[in-house]
Amino acid sequence: MIRSAAIGPEIPLVVTLDFHANIGAVLARAADLIIGYDTYPHVDVAARGEEAAALLRRLIDGVRPATAYASVPILAVPGRQGTDDYPMRDLLARVHAIEADPRVLTVTLAGGFCYSDVPEAGIGIVVSTDADPALAAAYATELQALAWAERDAFVQTDIPPAEAVAQALVAPPGRPTILVDAPDNVGGGTPGDGTVLLAELLRQGATEAVVVIADPEAVALAFAAGVGGIFSGLVGGKTDRFHGDPISVRGAVRLLADGRFTYRGSYMPGQERSMGRTAVLDVAGCHLVLTEHKTMPFDAQHLRSVGISPEWCRVIVVKSATGWRAAFGELAGLVLSVATPGICTADLATLPYARVRRPIFPLDGADGIVLPPVTVSGRGSPPARQDAS
């Protein structure tokens, strides 16, 4: 076992991980059990914590887990990792069927985080059994093969902004069209100040559209203008050169708020969040929400708290790949993934990878890629053979 000096080899260690974790062999050996989220959007955080506590109790009582680790050389974009949709839906169904085997303690299938330039990036699989290493290895091998067979389904092709907005403006009324600005996915580390879709909506004369942009300088200007005043200035595109240029907007300040709200939906209900000082502008019939802090659109309260009812919007721009479904999935009509500029692009070939393992799909195609061997470790596994030298 690989342990830190602070823990030591005899103390049971159970780790919970995000669904997008890049799991490597070192981590798989270091922990007695790894428990990853089963959902994306991540609505099972509390359930996985309860599972971890229950399994830790079993370890304390003497269960000796055997753990098999399998890596799948696929960089899966977040937009294709939603667990309610193919292919993750089908892969997770098999994971849960395996967990129904009483000899199995837990199974994790992690989609990975494709924007991490690290050797461990990719889909990871961890299967832990009750002292049965052969069974753990068999299940891990099966899941590795199933995920690899679905590799093409993890590739996403987005549509140009002008085309996306044009489609949104002719979509049937009654449900908002969701324009997915995943390249400016704030949950993935982007600044949340991309301007391309706002500019295109204004260019095409869209109304009843809502765009949220993190821009503390613009917020200060709105507060200076006051409710009922006129905002005139540059918005967005101020953090870096990757997410569009600042654009000049002019509009009435409709609301000023402290930006505090509480999640009320399926994602971390009861958690309090703050967008910082927040201003709502009416810009040519569009709702432009300016915030001091970038805010993940994981709960509709980030709009409702500033007087915007999402069900009455014609278009909602979300700076998120899939997590937005926890907020607007039930309301959504047409959903369009848009090829805006940004560091969380679905076009992975445009990113300057230097440390990811090669070859890897889709960067290098599939021909010639050999699946890595499954490794087994754990307290319930035979000791590793030592080099006779």
| pLDDT of amino acid 5 | 62
pLDDT for res 388: 34
Report if residue 1 sits inside a domain: no
- Rounded average pLDDT over 241-253: 97
Q: Is 44 in the same domain as 144?
A: yes
**212-222: pLDDT as tens digits:** 999 999 999 99
In a domain, 325, yes or no: yes
Give me the pLDDT at residue 3, please: 55
185 and 139 within one domain: no
- Supply the pLDDT for residue 381: 74
- Name the strand (E) or helix (H) holding 360: none
Helix (H) or strand (E) holding 217: helix 216-225
Confidence at residue 4, expressed as pLDDT on a 0 to 100 scale: 56
The model's pTM = 0.92
Dihedral, CA of residue 89, residue 93, residue 98 and residue 101, to nearest 10: 150
Counting the structural domains of the chain, the total is 2
- Tell me if 24 is assigned to some domain: yes
Is the per-residue pLDDT at 42 higher than 70? yes
**What residue numbers bound the domain in which 282 lies?**
161-345
pLDDT(142) > 90? yes
Query: Is 238 contained in some domain?
Result: yes
Q: State yes or no: cis peptide before 183, omega within 30 of 0.
A: no
Q: 126 with 170, same domain?
A: no
**138 and 192 both lie in a single domain:** no
Residue 60 included in any domain: yes
Question: What are 258's two structure tokens?
Answer: 């402290």
pLDDT over 90 at 378, yes or no: no
pLDDT tens, 339-377?
A: 999 999 999 999 999 999 999 999 999 999 999 999 999
Question: Are 199 and 332 in the same domain?
Answer: yes
Whole-angstrom distance, CA of residue 120 vs CA of residue 90: 24
Helices 196-203 and 161-169: angle between axes, nearest 10 degrees: 50
Lowest mean pLDDT among 45-54, 154-163, 371-380: 371-380
In a domain, 327, yes or no: yes
User: In Å, how far from its chain's centre is CA 293?
Assistant: 19
Same domain? For 110 and 167 the reply is no
Same-domain check for residues 102 and 31:
yes
Shared domain for 132 and 237, answered yes or no, is: no
Give residue 383's pLDDT band: very low, low, confident or very high (50, 70, 90). low
In-domain check, residue 4 = no
Lowest-pLDDT choice from 159-168, 269-278, 286-295, 373-382: 373-382
For residue 311, being part of any structural domain is answered with: yes
Q: What is the pLDDT of residue 1?
A: 43
Among 70, 71, 51, 47, which Cα is nearest to 59's? 51
C-alpha span between 385 and 383 (Å, rounded): 6
Q: What percent of the chain has pLDDT over 70?
A: 96
